[in-house]
Amino acid sequence: MVYRPKDILDALEFLRVYGSETAPLAGGTDLIIALKERKIRPRFILDLTPLKSELSYVKIDKNIVKIGALTTVWELSKSILHTDYRFAAFKDLWHRFGTMVLRFEATIGGNIASATRYNDYITLLLAYDARVKTISINSEREQYLENFIISSGKTNLQSTELIKEIIFEIPGENCSGAFFKLDRRKALMVGFMNSAIYMCINRDDKITDLKIAYNMPKGKEVPGRLRDIENSLLNRRYDVDYINSLAEQLAKFYVDARTSWHAKGEYRVHLAKVAFQRSLKLIRERILSRRYIKWEDIIP
């Protein structure tokens, strides 16, 4: 049975009563596949389409970026997240995200709720240190995305809750990011691996903030931060030789090197190293020029 709520309060009341038997439907790009493959068999489908007017937005509130859970990838592309160099990683991801049809359908909340290493926005938002706001009929919670994603296919979302929005602080003028993803083709990309890095540098070329996220960190089934590498670079001057030495450590100790149907482990490790080196170089160029620079403009 499909239930279409009148508004968000109606949806939350329905979840209060039937939440344990219900699967919320946002864009449906992951849920519909799961239903067809009978991986889940809920009694109810809660169609969130009527809530678009309440939960689809990108807005700046003081120093906070807020993205409504039902905002699509297409809608993100029409926001400040694609016009300001400080959010450059969002534009990088756009160029590597599925087909145009998927961009119109896939929502940010649905991408996060799926909780897999192949959902690009999880990796990206980890690098921007995002937080997830969830709501129920009686309360509202806020938690870091890193804590919200528990394991593959599992989140900290309660059966009576909906994701309301994703929030993160506006980067400073000396900050930017980069998202890396590579596959044999541009459309319907699963990606051999992907990474997202956020960095700030001051006038002395010192790295004052750094967040590194990979979708295949060693020992995890979901995207995660590489804090040891972050700490090794934080408060140091930007130094190519030192970055190259860290790239070797990252590839050897921090990236999952397993072989799958999609790529050999050795190749994933090589890509992880290249992504790290080139991402930092690209971010630095973006900060210095105060503009969006394409990946192909820095690749030798």
How much is the pTM? 0.93
Vertex 116, ends 140 and 177: CA angle to 5°? 80
Count H helices, E strands: the chain?
12, 14
pLDDT score, position 28 = 66
pLDDT score, position 29 = 65
DSSP 17-63: HHGGGEEEESS-TTHHHHHHTTS---SEEEE-GGGHHHH--EEEETT
Predicted confidence band of residue 255 (pLDDT cuts 50, 70, 90): confident
> How far is CA 282 from its chain centroid?
19
- Domains delineated in the chain: 51-169 (3.30.465.10), 175-294 (3.30.390.50)
d(CA 38, CA 58): 34
pLDDT, greater one: 51 or 39: 51
Predicted confidence band of residue 118 (pLDDT cuts 50, 70, 90): confident
pLDDT score, position 256 = 76
Residue-wise pLDDT for 148-163, tens only, equals: 999 988 999 999 999 9
pLDDT score, position 261 = 61
Predicted confidence band of residue 300 (pLDDT cuts 50, 70, 90): low
d(CA 12, CA 273): 45
Range with the poorest average pLDDT among 71-85, 99-113, 165-179, 221-235: 99-113
Predicted confidence band of residue 254 (pLDDT cuts 50, 70, 90): confident
pLDDT score, position 32 = 67
Residue-wise pLDDT for 267-277, tens only, equals: 888 889 999 99
pLDDT score, position 273 = 92
Tell me what the mean pLDDT of segment 175-195 comes to.
Answer: 78
pLDDT score, position 214 = 94
In a 10 Å sphere around its CB, with 0-12 CB exposed, 13-18 middle and 19+ buried, how is residue 234 labelled? middle
pLDDT, greater one: 262 or 103: 103
Predicted confidence band of residue 189 (pLDDT cuts 50, 70, 90): low
Predicted confidence band of residue 16 (pLDDT cuts 50, 70, 90): very high
Residue 161's nearest CA partner among 69, 224, 71 is 69
Residue-wise pLDDT for 190-231, tens only, equals: 667 899 999 999 999 999 999 999 998 888 889 999 999 999
Tell me what the mean pLDDT of segment 7-16 comes to.
Answer: 96
Answer yes or no: are the C-beta atoms of 129 and 169 closer than 8 Å: yes
